[in-house]
Structures are given as C-alpha cells and as structure tokens.
Amino acid sequence: MHCVRKITEDLYWVGGNDRRLELFENMFPLQKGVSYNSYLLLDEKTVLFDTVDAAIGKQFLENVSAVLDGRTLDYLVVNHMEPDHCSLIEDLHLRYPDMKIIGNIKTFPLIEQFYGMNLDDKKILVKEGETFSCGKHTLHFVMAPMVHWPEAMMTYDEYDKVLFSADAFGTFGALDGTIFNDEVDFDRDFLDEARCYYTNIVGKYGIQVQNVLKKAATIDIQIICPLHGPIWRNNLEYLLEKYQIWSKYETETTGVMIAYASMYGNTENMVNVLSMMLAEAGIKNIKIHNISKTHVSELISDSFKYSHLVLAAPTYNNNLYPLMANYIEDMKALSVQNRTVAVIGNGSWAPQSAKLMEAKLSELKNITLLTDNFAVKSALHTEQMDLLQELCDKIVASINEVNA
Ligand code: FEO
C-alpha cells in the first residue's frame, strides 16, 4: 500500500524508511534507521525531486504511482547522484518512458557511469541560476558542488518557497509518520543523528557548505526538503545556525569529551580520576567514550560538538594503539579543527603514545595542545596525582577563558 504525505497544496512526500539497514554506506551504524526522502510536485507538469535507495524501491514506486493517480511523470530533477537517492532512475525511465531528466553538467556522466543509460533527448541540462516552469511553479537551480559530491545541486520552488536541499540539512533516523520538524522533538530525537550525519558525511566540506549557506541567505525559504530526515517548515534559523557552527568548525558545547583506549583498565582509571577532578572543579559537560566500544563516527560527531578533547591511549607494538590512530586519522580526514586538546599516554617499558598522538594532532588545523608528552608507566601512581591535577587545572582555565 502507498504511504505518502502532503506537504503543500501541490507537493507530496513519496519517500520511505529503512529500519533494517545496519550500516549506512556500509560504514556508519544506524541506531534509528534512515529515511530516503523524495518529493513529487503536481502542476501542469508532474515533477519528481530525486528518487530513493534500492532497498525501498517497491514502496517508492507505489507511492509515486498513487500520487500521480493515472497521470504520467513528466520530469525527474536529479539533485544528487549518490545511489541512496538515484537508484530508481532506471525503473522510472522504464515505467514513464517520456520522462525527462533535469540535471547539471556533472549529473549526466554519473548516470551513464552508474546505470549505463543513454538518455539522448531525455536530458535537460541546467546551470546555476537557470529556471524551469512547470506551470504555476517555477524552479530555480542552485549548484552546491562538493556538498558533498561534485554534481550536488539544490532546487528552489519560487511559488511555495521550498528549497529541495539534497543531502544538506539531512539527518540519520527514520521518520515515524511525523515527517515535519514541528511534529518531532528534534533536540531529543534527531540532533545527535543530524550532527553525526553532517560531520561524517559532509564535515570535510565546510567551505563548500559555507558557500551554499551564503546563497541560501539571498533566497526567501519557507520550507526545506532534505533527502534524509524531517522536512523543516518553521524555525529554520535553528537549523541554519547549527550548519553555521558545524561548517565553521566552531564549538557547539563548551565542555570536555574524553576518548580513551585501555587494554587492562589502567588508562581508563586515569581518565576516570581526571573526569572526577574536572567535575569537582565545576565542569558539567563531560562525556567519556571508550573508543574500543564507540564507533568512530560517534567520536567524530562529539569532536565537532565539544570545545575540549582529552585523548588517552596506551602504547602498542611500540606504536600508538590502533583504534586511537584510526580516530585521529579520521579527525584529519574530516577536517576537525579549532579544538583544545590534552593528550595522555601510557606504556610499560617504552611509552610512545603521547608523543605519537601529539605528532598526529599537529597535522590538524588550529589545535591548541595543553600537554607535552604527559605519560605514565603502566598505571597512575600517587606521585603523579599532582601532575594530573595540574592538567585538570589547565583544562578548567582554558574552559573559563572560552566562557569569559
Ligand atoms: Fe544521502 Fe550523499 O547521499
């Protein structure tokens, strides 16, 4: 049975949810599933904005057919060519052979690469700022290169003031019937998902996101229709502010995220003692992650969120504990920057990890290091408690500076 919702007089959500997928992109654990949003506009012409992932293809085709209610599909706008949104192009082409596809110069080679489709006279090539009339609705095309693929673009419907924003402003998390932001408790149910999605999928492309935000600021947008997660129809400033913070790599929460690796509990003990010291000193926002049990995507998300990071890990094979090395590599790949970081090492005969972590962190942009080879041998001992308290005091002083 079809499963759709009306957004405006002429616009329908015809997407679907996948609550069975374990790993998005076969990499990111999904705690709450994911939605693939697609939108169908009924005007003098019928226009579909993007398709969905193959996993929900049957539901999607049923949805499109139900909303069309006997009409044919005239146009498909392809805002993004990643397969979680374009997997049904070929099926639509077969069902609606007269359908024309609207895309930009980078869209069509990707359609050819993925699906071997020769579209010939079915292509409509659009450029930045061009418009297309479907009747009473006029569409404007806004290029969004590298947010987060080269062909990404957004489409603005001037009549309803709707921005079809591709991956931008999307979140992980399935939609439970409540598809609009004002029908959900976004802070409670979606903010962590949104941050995790943004930072891991788009996080590297802060400059490109900034460019799109500047373009968006010149348009009167009343509704944002992203390809994942809730549709925004009020309080857009909230979402835009989050995107400003994340894309500028600014701090979202003043506090401390501690990420530790510990083979036998001694490094863990050290960060537990440090966290108590921080709490005693009045720091409230403290989050501890055991990196062996926390997916790196969550560590990245919290690295974007918190102002201060503490990284603690043992030496392993005369090198850095591999999971910690991987986490810092991912921080670099996703452009984590502008953070204040303390590093704690451990090692039983040749402690290397503190120096190795510091060297890796020096490859990130604008990192303020509060430590210089702070290392213990095997476990924290009484004579080092003063040094740990000193480190705590430094973190607190730095947080107070941020708060001042
Ligand atoms: Fe949701 Fe870049 O695809």
For residue 191, report the distance from its CA to the centre of ligand 1, in Å: 18
For residue 85, report the distance from its CA to the centre of ligand 1, in Å: 7
Taking the CA of residue 167 as reference, the ligand 1 atom at the shortest distance is: 1
Taking the CA of residue 170 as reference, the ligand 1 atom at the shortest distance is: 1
How many residues are recorded in the chain? 404
For residue 218, report the distance from its CA to the centre of ligand 1, in Å: 25
Q: Name the pLDDT band for 17 (thresholds 50, 70, 90).
A: very high
Return d(Cα 33, Cα 147) in angstroms, integer. 22
For 281, the token pair is 């000193």
Phi, psi of 237 (to 5 degrees): -60, -35
Return d(Cα 393, Cα 202) in angstroms, integer. 35
Q: Find the mean pLDDT for residues 211-240.
A: 97
β-pair type (286-290, 306-316)? unpaired
Residue 118 has pLDDT above 90, yes or no: no
For residue 170, report the distance from its CA to the centre of ligand 1, in Å: 9
What is residue 183's DSSP assignment? G
How high is the pLDDT of residue 402?
A: 85
Q: Report helix, strand and coil shares of the chain as percent, to nearest 5.
A: 35, 25, 40
365-393 residue pLDDT tens: 999 999 999 999 999 999 999 999 999 99
Residue 162 has pLDDT above 90, yes or no: yes
Return d(Cα 353, Cα 72) in angstroms, integer. 63
Residue 97 has pLDDT above 90, yes or no: yes
Beta bridge partners of 330: none
Q: Find the mean pLDDT for residues 221-235.
A: 98
Return d(Cα 299, Cα 310) in angstroms, integer. 12
Contact call for residues 289 and 258 (beta carbons, < 8 A): yes
Residue 403 has pLDDT above 90, yes or no: no
Return d(Cα 296, Cα 151) in angstroms, integer. 28
Long-range pairs for 387-392 at CB < 8 Å and ≥24 separation? 388/270, 388/273, 388/274, 388/277, 389/277, 391/274, 391/342, 391/344, 392/274, 392/277, 392/278, 392/281
Q: Which helix (H) or strand (E) holds 300?
A: helix 296-305
| 175 residue type, one letter | L
For residue 147, report the distance from its CA to the centre of ligand 1, in Å: 9
289 preceded by a cis bond (ω within 30 of 0): no
Of 302, 274, 286, 254, the closest CA to residue 400 belongs to 254
331-345 residue pLDDT tens: 999 999 999 999 999
| 265 residue type, one letter | G
How high is the pLDDT of residue 120?
A: 84
**What is the signed CA dihedral for 55, 56, 60, 63, rounded to 10 degrees?**
160
Residue 404 has pLDDT above 90, yes or no: no
> What is the number of alpha carbons within 13 Å of residue 269 lying toward its C-beta?
12
> What is the number of alpha carbons within 13 Å of residue 159 lying toward its C-beta?
16
What is residue 180's DSSP assignment? B
Q: Name the pLDDT band for 201 (thresholds 50, 70, 90).
A: very high
Coil, strand or helix: which one is 385? helix
CA-nearest residue, atom 3 of ligand 1: 82
Q: Find the mean pLDDT for residues 189-215.
A: 97
Give the residues surrounding ligand 1 with Cβ less than 6 Å away: 80, 82, 84-85, 148, 167, 227-228
* Residue 379 to residues 104, 310, 326, 376, 394, Cα–Cα distance (Å): 59, 17, 24, 6, 22
CA-nearest residue, atom 2 of ligand 1: 82
Taking the CA of residue 149 as reference, the ligand 1 atom at the shortest distance is: 2
Q: Find the mean pLDDT for residues 142-154.
A: 97
For residue 148, report the distance from its CA to the centre of ligand 1, in Å: 8
Q: pLDDT above 70 covers what percent of the chain? A: 100
Contact call for residues 91 and 159 (beta carbons, < 8 A): no
260-295 residue pLDDT tens: 999 999 999 999 999 999 999 999 999 999 999 999
Of 334, 321, 333, the closest CA to residue 343 belongs to 321
Taking the CA of residue 201 as reference, the ligand 1 atom at the shortest distance is: 2
Locate tokens 């226009």: which residue?
47
For residue 315, report the distance from its CA to the centre of ligand 1, in Å: 37
Contact call for residues 208 and 201 (beta carbons, < 8 A): no
Return d(Cα 203, Cα 28) in angstroms, integer. 14
Q: Find the mean pLDDT for residues 98-104.
A: 98
How high is the pLDDT of residue 367?
A: 98
Return d(Cα 284, Cα 318) in angstroms, integer. 36
Coil, strand or helix: which one is 122? helix
